[in-house]
Amino acid sequence: MTLSDSDPHTIDPARSTALSVTLDDGDLHVYLDGPSDAPALLLIHGSASSARSWDPMVPLLTGSHRVIRIDLLGHGRSAKPDDLGYTTPDQARRVGEALDRLGVRQAVVAGHSSGGAVATALAELRPGLVTALVLVNTGPALVGNIAPQSAAIAPDRWPPDDEQIRGFASSGFSRPGYEVPQELLDEVRLMTFHTLTATMMGTTEYLKQRPIPDRLATLGKPLLVIFGEDDRRWRSSSAADYRKVAGAAVELLPGLGHSPILEDPPRTAALLLAFTARQG
């Protein structure tokens, strides 16, 4: 299914739907789950990932939400042009345009890792669209980054094999015995080396310009921060930086790492659902 300017701006599927939303920058792949008349919950994935990273969470959220997942440009099943910008504000603008095409006027927005930076940029660009924010292991500022540089994949080894991707992704998980699902490895291989590096550079530049808590402090949006206490990419102690945002709730999850949405979906979903329930 494709949705563009010439298509109706609302869709009403009775079941999970995958579709392509046509923008000037290229098509964005979208997944829709849950009742069409329920409050919208947008889930944004991180770098070197895709909307599929939220798969384990979706069944836990659709009882009370219309769950929307978008493959950011350059990721997953979305277009991967090499002549467009992959800055965080650019990605946020595209997400907002996709929601316009879908007829979504307001949504709670949750972002994992760098997806939280895109969620923040979306709230900056479209404050009327974003009613509340949930950031899952989103580093607040570059000073808190502890990701090992040696795990990067060289351009001459692209596309990577499973072993290389697992090495690249290893710092993203801390729960003992957790194994990255094959479908997520396959999603990484759909990227190009350019889209991978350009997106990461875009996130770095966004954080250089201004820390995320400083950005959020001026927006006045309800905020939930979830952080795996054993994160090996960002110091979990840096989650306290978000407390400068008035009314922010910060939850640390012992025994989990950078990806609570995959390592322990029920525990993560329970916090998210309790938060959205408080938003009415």
Which stretches within the chain are classed as H helix?
Answer: 58-61, 88-102, 114-125, 162-169, 182-189, 193-209, 212-217, 260-263, 265-278
Q: Is the pLDDT of residue 12 over 60?
A: no
Report the distance separating Cα 172 and Cα 23, nearest Å: 31
pLDDT of residue 177: 84
In this prediction, residue 280 has a pLDDT band, given cuts at 50, 70 and 90, of confident
Is residue 70 within 8 Å of residue 79, measured between CB atoms?
Answer: no
Residues 6+ apart with CB under 8 A from 163: none
Q: Is the pLDDT of residue 10 over 60?
A: no
pLDDT of residue 14: 40
Cα separation of the two ends of the chain: 32
Paired residues of 3 in beta bridges: 21
Q: Is the pLDDT of residue 15 over 60?
A: no
Report the distance separating Cα 148 and Cα 162, nearest Å: 19
Q: Is the pLDDT of residue 101 over 80?
A: yes
Angle formed by the axes of helices 114-125 and 193-209, nearest 10°: 60
pLDDT of residue 181: 87
Across 111-116, average pLDDT: 98
Report the distance separating Cα 21 and Cα 203, nearest Å: 24
Is residue 176 within 8 Å of residue 264, measured between CB atoms?
Answer: no
Predicted confidence (pLDDT) per residue in 156-215, tens digit: 778 888 888 888 788 889 988 888 888 888 988 889 999 999 999 999 999 999 999 999
pTM, 2 dp: 0.92
In this prediction, residue 1 has a pLDDT band, given cuts at 50, 70 and 90, of very low
3-class secondary-structure state, position 134: strand
Residues 6+ apart with CB under 8 A from 133: 108, 109, 110, 111, 116, 119, 120, 123, 216, 221, 222, 223, 224
pLDDT of residue 11: 33
Q: Is the pLDDT of residue 46 over 60?
A: yes
pLDDT of residue 164: 87
Predicted confidence (pLDDT) per residue in 199-246, tens digit: 999 999 999 999 999 999 999 999 999 999 999 999 999 999 999 999
Is residue 234 within 8 Å of residue 145, measured between CB atoms?
Answer: yes
pLDDT of residue 155: 77
Mean pLDDT (the chain) is: 91
In this prediction, residue 151 has a pLDDT band, given cuts at 50, 70 and 90, of low
